[in-house]
Amino acid sequence: MTDLADLFPGFVARSVSTDAGTIFTRVAGSGPPLALVHGFPQTMAMWHRIAPELSQAFTVVAIDLRGYGWSSAPRSANGAGYSKRVMGTDLLAVMDELGFARFSLAGHDRGARVGYRLALDHPGRLTALALLDIMPTMEVWRQIEAGTGTAPHWPALAESSPRPEETFGKDPDASFSDLMAGWTKNRSLAPFDRRAMNHYRAGWNEPSRIHAMCEDYRAGATLDREADEADHQAGRTIACPVHVLASDAYLEKPGQEPALDVWRRTFAPNATGTIIDSGHFLAEENAGATLGALRQFLEA
């Protein structure tokens, strides 16, 4: 990874020690703290088009989740080391190390799942939560099992080890690149900066990180879903303000309940929302609209 471009000039690099190794961060700005948490199969590089602008109003803390980017990728079995509850404790360790008892969080994809789990588990820590292009994990699995879901990679990656590791490891660049291209609005890799793609490829071409991503999805199929269902049954909801940014070309499907409505009937009854002209990768496909929606919400 030593030849990768620095997409966050002016940001300070920090590695924070945790029980599972180290979590890598980049920090800039001097305003209220804002954690930026990436999704699959990416790294913090996905924020490179909007993080500098956000740092003009916030102390931005961009984080590589465990198993991704420059953070440690501990071995795990049956998803135990990659539940969103466990990954949320990594974020708390980072923010504690930086001296932030309370902070806002914007998460995309898997990072958004870590964010809403953290919000439910630690209701006093978040001041605001922006969820980029997801529905609750339990809802995604409900759709998959009902035959109405459009996420076949979920059960594929969640299969028992080592089958998905071997399948995706045969040609990881083709496997993960094809997934990403298929989720964009124009069904290609054109929206992504070549330098950012090099960061993503550095991760998914490493066997330990392929294993980590599979464990991430195994946790989603079991531990994360169970946590969602337990909280939903108990009537628990997210205490802080929530804003849902949904892509018009990926998350929002004709005939399917809108993402904002799903969040309002599950964990965020008072959530607000914005539809973004984009495929799944909002911060890279439509950085301007994503930045505008985040600032309007977070600066309110």
Amino acid letter at 87? M
DSSP string, 12-23: EEEEEEETTEEE
Query: Nearest to residue 198, comparing CAs of 3, 26, 67, 15?
Result: 3
Question: Kind and range of the H or E element at 131?
Answer: strand 126-132
Tokens of 62: 């961009």
Nearest Cα to Cα of residue 245 among 296, 197, 200, 186: 296
**Sequential DSSP letters for 170-212:** HSHHHHHHHHHHHHSTTSSSTTS-HHHHHHHHHHHTSHHHHHH
Please identify every residue annotated as catalytic.
109, 280
CB 202 within 8 A of CB 1: yes
CA angle 179, 184, 190 (to 5 degrees): 95
Place of tokens 């980049």: 26
Show Cβ contacts of residue 197 under 8 Å, excluding neighbours closer than 6 positions.
189
β-strand 59-63 against 272-276: which pairing, if any?
unpaired
Tell me, what amino acid is at 251? L
Residue 36 DSSP label: E
Q: Is 299 exposed, middle or buried (0-12, 13-18, 19+ CB in 10 A)?
A: exposed
What SS3 state is found at 27?
strand
Q: Which amino acid type is present at position 225?
A: R
| Residue located via tokens 């990180």 | 209
